[in-house]
Amino acid sequence: MGSYFILIGLSLAVILSYLFDLAARATKVPSVLMLLLSGIALRQAADYVDFTLHIPKVVLEIFGIIGLIMIVLEGALDLKISREKAPLIRRSFLAAALILVVQAVVIALILHFWLQVNFQSCLVNAIPLAVISSAIAIPSVAGLWGEKQEFIIYESTFSDILGIMFFNFALQDNFAQGASVFTFGRDVVAVLVVAVLSTAALVFLLDRIRLHVKFFLILAFLVLLYSIAKKLHLSSLVLVLVFGLAVNNADQFLKGRLRRWFRPERLQEEVHQLRSITAESAFLIRTFFFLLFGFSITLSNLLSGQLLLQGVLIVAALTAIRYCYLRYIARTDLIPELFIAPKGLITVLLFYSIPEKHLIGEVSENILFMVILLTGILMMVGLLMARQEPEIGEY
């Protein structure tokens, strides 16, 4: 295949993704679903003309990791922190934490009794299915309003971070022992310290660098820090969230002597450009990741009644747990919060990170795709209902 054909294909993919975003605003069908289905359609066309394109798993992982960083950063750069929002942040954190843990444990128990596999392996495989994908949720709620939008942004971001932490905890050799709790607590403290120090360094660079090209340098440092922290088995997504919140809320954090080193007024001038570049990068990476992931799926493997039944049962269990929490514990709105809990990029990344000794044959990429598809459809339903009923009273 010639270089110009490749360039034509890449350009068409970006244009198609942009059109999908426009269609999503009008139809409430998530653009990610359109990208996934387009990837599957391209795979069918390629098979029909006997064209073979092998996509290494590492390519999907790289796109996924960078996309996750950009999307979480994009969401953090849109959030303002104030005392008035403390209850909202606390509520979204509790929702993310409790729903994640209960969903993961319930799915793990189902796998344990159904497949007779040890509980640790079942939990490791269940966590990716329980994590909400901020890569899908954040762009999809752009049309919502006020606290509903902020709740979903905070919840999905916290779910990503806590999901990675829970996943790392479940992978420990001394899992379910007292030592594992100590190790987990030590890692949490370590990542918070690293997050504060690295954020201070990056904000200092953002404030002091006066060269024309600097934003991608900052993003490169952020990816570098994220990758190093990940290799040290720390929940490195915290670094991204803290940096984004610190930059966008510099006036809240920089008090007294700190203003000698950091100038909030100058940082505010840079935030707009950083937000724009981050959004453009997230859009580009998300486009290619979901197209490639859809292309990697074989349609014939999805045309199975048993696979559909398994996907429906998993999504039904996840939705029932979410309903019980929102309805009886949080006592908050159900529309659209109940339906906006999509699985996606983080689900795939965590699944690819499962060590071989914990892999379960019955939990495959096809199951992941089915769960991603069904939760995407539920999210579409929730967004349509929210558009029809802009004001929902508390239950």
In a domain, 394, yes or no: no
In a domain, 313, yes or no: yes
Which whole number is the average pLDDT over 65-72?
85
d(Cα 17, Cα 286) in Å, to the nearest integer? 9
Q: Which carries the bigger pLDDT value, residue 106 or residue 298?
A: 106
Assess contact for 163 and 96: CB atoms under 8 A: no
Find the domain containing 183 and state its range: 3-388
**Residue owning tokens 């990503």:** 160
End-to-end CA distance of the chain: 58
In a domain, 22, yes or no: yes
In a domain, 393, yes or no: no
In a domain, 134, yes or no: yes
> What CATH number has the domain bearing residue 78?
1.20.1530.20
- Indicate the pTM of the whole model: 0.84
Which helix (DSSP H) or strand (DSSP E) does residue 159 occupy? helix 146-170
Which whole number is the average pLDDT over 107-111?
92
B/e letters for 253-288, b = 16+ CB within 10 Å, e = fewer, are bbeeeeeeebebeebeebbeebbebbbebbbbbbbb
Domain count, the chain: 1
In a domain, 298, yes or no: yes
Length of the chain: 395
Q: Packing angle between helix 264-295 and helix 237-248, nearest 10 degrees?
A: 140
Residue 340: φ, ψ to 5° = -95, 80
The pLDDT tens digits of the residues spanning 144-176 come to 777 888 899 889 988 988 888 898 888 887 676
Q: What is the pLDDT of residue 259?
A: 63
Q: Per-residue confidence at 320, pLDDT binned at 50, 70, 90?
A: very high
In a domain, 247, yes or no: yes
In a domain, 395, yes or no: no
